[in-house]
Structure 1
Amino acid sequence: MEPREVVVSVRRPAPRDGRLRLAGRVLLRRLLVAVPLLLVVSGVVFLLGAASPFDPVYQYYGTRIFTAAEADVARTRAELGLDDSVWHQYGDWLGGVLGGDWGTSRSFGQPVADVVAERLPWTLLLAGTGLTLAVLIALALGVVSAWRQGGWIDRLTVSLAHALEGVPTFLLGLGAIAVFAVAMPLLPAGGVSDAAGGTGAASTVRHLALPALVLAIAQLPWLILTLRQQLLVGLADDHVTSARSRGLPERTVVVRHGLPVALLPFVTTVGTRLPELVTGVVLVEEVFSWPGVAGAMVKAGLNVDFPLLVALTLLATTAVLAGNLCADLAVLLIDPRASADG
Structure 2
Amino acid sequence: MVQYIFRRILIAIPVLFGVTIFNFLIINLAPGNPVDMYVSPDVSVADIEIKKEALGLNDPIYIQYWHWLGNLLKGDFGFSYSTYEPVTNMIIERLGPTLILMGSALIIAYLIAIPIGILSATKQYSWIDYFTTTFSFLGVSIPHFFMGLGAIYVFAIMTQILPTGGMNTLGGNGGLTDTLLHLIMPAIVLGTGIAGSMVRYVRSSMIEVLGQDYLRTARAKGLGEFIVTNKHALRNALIPIITIIGLDIPLLIGGAVVTEQIFQWPGLGQLTIQSIGSRDYSVLMAINLLAAFMVLFSNLLTDILYSVADPRIKYN
| TM-score, normalised by the number of residues in structure 1 | 0.85
| Pick aligned residue for 2:25 from 37, 47, 60 | 47
Is this contact kept in 1: 2:255–2:269, CA < 8 A?
A: no
* 1:305-340 superposed Cα distances (whole Å, 9 cap, x missing partner): 222111010111122222222222111222112243
Unmatched 5+ stretches in structure 2:
none
1:309 equivalent in structure 2: 284
Deviates more, 1:163-172 or 1:251-260: 163-172
1:100 equivalent in structure 2: 75
For residue 212 of structure 1, report the CA deviation from its aligned partner. Answer: 1.0
Q: How does 1:1-342 map to 2 (within 5 A)?
A: 21=1, 24-59=2-37, 61=38, 65-274=40-249, 281-340=256-315
Residues of 2 paired with 1:317 and 1:120: CA distance?
Answer: 15
Residues of 2 paired with 1:224 and 1:145: CA distance?
Answer: 9
User: Judging changes above 3 Å, is the alpha-carbon distance between structure 1 residues 253 and 185 closer, same or farther for their aligned structure 2 residues?
Assistant: same
Is this contact kept in 2: 1:102–1:112, CA < 8 A?
A: yes
Residues of 2 paired with 1:205 and 1:188: CA distance?
Answer: 10
Unmatched 5+ stretches in structure 1:
1-20
Residues of 1 paired with 2:232 and 2:27: CA distance?
Answer: 53
Deviates more, 1:267-276 or 1:257-266: 267-276
For residue 138 of structure 1, report the CA deviation from its aligned partner. Answer: 1.1
Amino acid at match of 2:258: L
Residues of 2 paired with 1:318 and 1:213: CA distance?
Answer: 27
Is this contact kept in 1: 2:254–2:269, CA < 8 A?
A: no
The alignment-based identity, stated in percent, is 36
Amino acid at match of 1:53: P
The alignment covers a number of residue pairs equal to 316
* 1:183-236 superposed Cα distances (whole Å, 9 cap, x missing partner): 332222210112442310001111111111111111112211111122122221
Deviates more, 1:33-42 or 1:104-113: 33-42
For residue 132 of structure 1, report the CA deviation from its aligned partner. Answer: 1.3
* 1:263-291 superposed Cα distances (whole Å, 9 cap, x missing partner): 22211122134467766622211111110
In the TM superposition, structure 1's runs of 4+ consecutive aligned residues that sit over 6 Å from their partners are 276-280
Residues of 2 paired with 1:266 and 1:327: CA distance?
Answer: 10
Is this contact kept in 2: 1:138–1:220, CA < 8 A?
A: yes
Residues of 1 paired with 2:86 and 2:98: CA distance?
Answer: 19
Is this contact kept in 2: 1:215–1:280, CA < 8 A?
A: no
For residue 113 of structure 1, report the CA deviation from its aligned partner. Answer: 0.7
The higher radius of gyration belongs to 1
For residue 31 of structure 1, report the CA deviation from its aligned partner. Answer: 1.9
Is this contact kept in 2: 1:189–1:288, CA < 8 A?
A: yes
Is this contact kept in 2: 1:112–1:307, CA < 8 A?
A: yes
Root-mean-square deviation (CA, aligned residues, Å) is 2.1
Is this contact kept in 1: 2:139–2:197, CA < 8 A?
A: no
1:6 equivalent in structure 2: none
Is this contact kept in 1: 2:250–2:295, CA < 8 A?
A: yes
Residues of 1 paired with 2:173 and 2:121: CA distance?
Answer: 44
| TM-score, normalised by the number of residues in structure 2 | 0.92
User: Judging changes above 3 Å, is the alpha-carbon distance between structure 1 residues 279 and 105 closer, same or farther for their aligned structure 2 residues?
Assistant: closer
